[in-house]
Amino acid sequence: MKSIKITDVSQIKNELNKYRKGKKLEIRQFNQTARLAWLGKVTMMPLDPEDPEARSYLIYIDFPEGLSAQILNIDEDLVGRIFILDAEQSAFMAEIVEQGVRERAALYEDLNRRDFYFDKFYRPGPAEEEASS
């Protein structure tokens, strides 16, 4: 953990401002986090909800489960941690979370409407194919 020497009030303010702005993830880390965000494994919360100027977010990156844990290559030092993400990357990450929710919901809706039995057991005969043409 980083220690801050308390000798100057302006130094403390500068350190706090650094934390309030957040940090950018490296490209590799951002891509891995974005994959998990699409899957719904990222939780985001404004760093300071009462301060309209603070646009950075706290993000928690949860561990992937099931098949995604077997397939995705995610750095171990990335998951299970909380980061303060800067405003720009936070906005992009929020868009990815929203996109993942919409696309996963669409997959479930399609699955709910799909008629597996009809697809597997109904084969139109030659007369039916000609009639539909």
In a domain, 14, yes or no: no
In a domain, 72, yes or no: yes
Q: How far is it, in rounded angstroms, from Cα 117 to Cα 122?
A: 8
Does 129 score more than 70 pLDDT? Answer: no
The Cβ of residue 104 has, within 10 Å, a number of other Cβ atoms equal to: 13
- Among 31-45, 89-103, 117-131, name the one with the lowest average pLDDT: 117-131
pTM of the model: 0.76
In a domain, 78, yes or no: yes
Q: Domain of 56?
A: 20-115
| Better-predicted residue by pLDDT, 101 or 128 | 101
**Which segments of 1-67 are extended strands (E)?**
42-46, 57-61
Residues sharing a CB contact under 8 Å with residue 35, sequence separation 6 or more, in sequence order? 72, 74
pLDDT at 131: 60
pLDDT at 109: 97
Please count the structural domains in the chain.
1
Q: How far is it, in rounded angstroms, from Cα 46 to Cα 43?
A: 10
pLDDT tens sequence across 59-69: 999 999 999 99
User: Do 26 and 60 meet the contact criterion of CB atoms below 8 Å apart?
Assistant: no
In a domain, 6, yes or no: no
The Cβ of residue 35 has, within 10 Å, a number of other Cβ atoms equal to: 19
Confidence class of residue 20 from pLDDT cuts 50, 70 and 90?
A: confident
